[in-house]
C-alpha cells in the first residue's frame, strides 16, 4: 500500500486508493485535459478529486502545498520516476508526463514527439490565455468595462489562432495527422468553450471555419472525451 501521508493535500482530499494516481481538478477547459488523457489511456488507474474553484479551494494551504500557483489541475502519482511519489502541476507538463509514462498519445519518434509538444505549447501559451480573456471581457465581469478595446484585441487574436489551427488541420484528421495525441486533447476544451460556453462564436467568426469544427466534432464524439469532460463531477 502506497503511503501518501507526507503530502498535505491528502489531508483535505483523502486518497481512498493511495496506490492510484490522484487527480485534483475541476471540469474547466484546463482541467479536462488531464481527465480526458487518463480516460484515453484507459489502463492507468486514477482517483479524481473535485477541487471546487468556485469556492476558492485551489487557494487553500493543502492545495498550494502541491501547486504553489493555485491553479487546477494537479496530480500526485504514487508510482513516479524511480518508484517514488511525484507531485506535478501545469496541465501541459502533466500531459507530457502521462504520455511518456504510458507510451501512449505521443509518438516515440523524436521528431514527431517534439512536434507534438510544440502544439501543446501553442495551446498553453496562446489558445488558452487568449480565449480565456475573451471569456472574461465578453461573458464575465469584464463585459461591464466601457472601453471595448481589450475585448476587441483578444477577439482579433483568438480569430488569428483559430486560423492557425484551421490551416494546420487542412487535410489532417488530427493535429499530428493520423496520430491522435495530447496535442488534440490539450485543445478540445478551449476550442469547445469559445464557441459554446463563452458564446463568442460570432465574434471570432466561427462560421468561416471548416476544418476546426469538423476536427472538434470528431474529438467530442470519442467516448473517452465524453467521459473526461465530466470528470471530476461538479459538486451539487
Domain count, the chain: 2
Rounded CA-CA distance 196/199 in Å is 5
What is residue 144's predicted lDDT score, i.e. its pLDDT?
92
**56-76 per-position pLDDT tens digit:** 999 999 999 999 999 999 999
The residue segments making up the domain with residue 127 are 110-225
Q: Over range 138-148, report the average pLDDT.
A: 93
- Which domain-ending residue is among 105, 139, 167? 105
Are 69 and 128 part of one and the same domain? no
Are 86 and 148 part of one and the same domain? no
Are 32 and 55 part of one and the same domain? yes
CATH number at residue 96: 3.40.30.10
Cell triple for residue 19?
Answer: 496506490
Report the DSSP beta bridge partners of residue 163: none
In a domain, residue 3? The reply is no
Are 123 and 69 part of one and the same domain? no
Are 216 and 117 part of one and the same domain? yes
pLDDT averaged over every residue in the chain: 97
In a domain, residue 236? The reply is no
Return the number of other C-beta atoms located less than 10 Å from residue 53's C-beta.
Answer: 17
Q: Over range 1-9, report the average pLDDT.
A: 86
Are 125 and 216 part of one and the same domain? yes
Torsion of CA 1, 93, 111, 160, to 10 degrees: 150
What is residue 2's predicted lDDT score, i.e. its pLDDT?
74
Cell triple for residue 103?
Answer: 507510451
Are 139 and 182 part of one and the same domain? yes
In a domain, residue 181? The reply is yes
In a domain, residue 230? The reply is no
CATH number at residue 221: 1.20.1050.10
Are 120 and 55 part of one and the same domain? no
Contact 51, 58 (CB under 8 A): yes
Of the chain, the percentage scoring pLDDT greater than 70 comes to 100
Rounded CA-CA distance 133/139 in Å is 10
Amino acid at each position: 500500500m502506497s503511503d501518501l501521508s507526507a503530502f498535505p493535500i491528502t489531508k483535505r482530499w483523502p486518497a481512498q486508493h493511495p496506490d492510484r494516481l490522484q487527480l485534483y481538478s475541476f471540469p474547466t477547459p484546463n482541467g479536462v485535459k488531464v481527465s480526458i488523457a487518463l480516460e484515453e489511456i484507459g489502463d492507468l488507474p486514477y482517483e479524481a478529486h473535485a477541487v471546487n474553484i468556485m469556492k476558492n479551494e485551489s487557494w487553500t494551504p493543502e492545495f498550494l502545498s502541491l501547486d504553489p500557483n493555485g491553479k487546477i489541475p494537479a496530480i500526485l502519482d504514487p508510482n513516479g520516476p524511480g518508484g517514488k511519489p511525484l507531485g506535478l502541476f501545469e496541465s501541459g507538463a502533466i500531459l507530457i508526463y502521462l504520455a511518456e509514462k504510458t507510451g501512449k498519445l505521443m509518438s516515440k519518434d523524436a521528431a514527431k514527439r517534439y512536434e507534438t509538444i510544440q502544439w501543446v505549447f501553442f495551446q498553453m501559451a496562446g489558445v488558452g490565455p487568449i480565449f480565456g480573456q475573451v471569456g472574461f471581457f465578453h461573458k464575465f465581469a469584464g463585459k461591464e468595462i466601457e472601453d471595448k478595446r481589450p475585448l476587441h484585441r483578444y477577439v482579433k487574436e483568438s480569430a488569428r489562432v483559430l486560423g492557425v489551427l484551421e490551416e494546420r488541420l487542412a487535410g489532417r484528421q488530427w493535429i499530428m495527422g493520423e496520430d491522435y495525441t495530447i496535442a488534440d486533447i490539450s485543445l478540445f476544451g478551449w476550442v469547445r468553450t469559445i464557441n459554446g460556453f463563452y458564446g463568442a462564436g460570432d465574434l471570432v467568426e466561427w462560421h468561416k471555419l471548416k476544418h476546426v469544427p469538423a476536427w472538434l466534432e470528431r474529438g467530442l464524439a470519442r467516448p473517452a472525451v465524453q467521459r473526461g469532460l465530466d470528470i471530476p463531477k461538479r459538486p451539487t
